[in-house]
Structure 1
Amino acid sequence: MRAAPTSLFALPLLALALLPNLAAAQDAEAGQRAFAKCRACHQIGEGARNLVGPELNGLIGRHSGAVAGYSYSNANKDSGLTWDEATFAEYIKDPKAKIPGTKMIFAGIKNEKEIADLIAFLKQFDKDGKKL
């Protein structure tokens, strides 16, 4: 019996290696749709400005209450949080539970996949609103 050429085994492995990159792009697209829930109060991207809520450029890695020109609640400013993926995921499920006294009026997003997609979308934007 003859062995199969190595290339026949390499192709599926290559496809598996690329899968996380493809999933990330799909997640960001789904996250853009999830962001529709946020759009009434927040902007993101070049030219984003503060509305009812602060603009969200460069959110991941930013300290809570740090956007210039936005009037945060004392609870938010004093929370000591730095927005990483885990902290934001917990916050967006139930903002008032994570930061009691926040002025953010939002029931939250409970679906884990939707939260992950939203984070993938938000992470695309640097502090100036440029896509990374």
Structure 2
Amino acid sequence: MKGKAGFARCAACHRVGEGAKNVVGPQLNGIVGRPAASAPDYVYSQAMKASGKTWDEASLRLFLTRPSAAVPGTKMTFAGIRDEATVDDVIAYLATFDAEGNAKP
């Protein structure tokens, strides 16, 4: 799956899938449709907590492309993914996981 390859750069800090845990960044199971700053037991920046975002495709696209522009003050130091097709693939890949990390049918 193309999105899995694109997610490899995210995997340095994030986990997804069965048994995913928070590491440097929060686990991303069920991220599409999830409110920002809602992964249990992860310490988010004040900026992320106050963002009021729900991670839909548009907000994920902006955040994956330019995290500091999408949420000024975020503690995510990643510069972003510039290739639009890769961003689309990563979002599609993330959307395949439910909140428990199971692949959606």
Common topology (TM > 0.5): yes
CA distance in 2, matches of 1:40, 1:118: 14
Q: 2:24 aligns with which of 49, 52, 55?
A: 52
Structure 1 residue ranges without an equivalent (≥5):
1-28
Structure number with the higher helix fraction is 1
Q: 2:59 aligns with which of 48, 73, 87?
A: 87
Match of 1:40 in 2: 12
Match of 1:128 in 2: 100
Q: How many residues align?
A: 104
> TM-score, structure 2 length as denominator?
0.98
Residue type of the alignment partner of 1:113:
A
Whose Rg is larger? Answer: 1
User: How much does 1:111 deviate?
Assistant: 0.8
CA distance in 1, matches of 2:84, 2:11: 19
> TM-score, structure 1 length as denominator?
0.78
Q: 2:42 aligns with which of 46, 67, 70?
A: 70
Q: 2:69 aligns with which of 77, 80, 97?
A: 97
User: How much does 1:110 deviate?
Assistant: 1.0
Residue type of the alignment partner of 1:103:
K
CA distance in 1, matches of 2:77, 2:32: 21
Residue type of the alignment partner of 1:55:
Q
Counterpart secondary structure, 1:71:
coil
Deviation sequence 1:42-98 (CA, Å, 0-9, x none): 000010000000000000000000011000000001100000001100111010011
Does residue 81 of structure 2 align to residue 109 of structure 1? yes
CA distance in 1, matches of 2:87, 2:55: 14
CA distance in 1, matches of 2:38, 2:49: 8
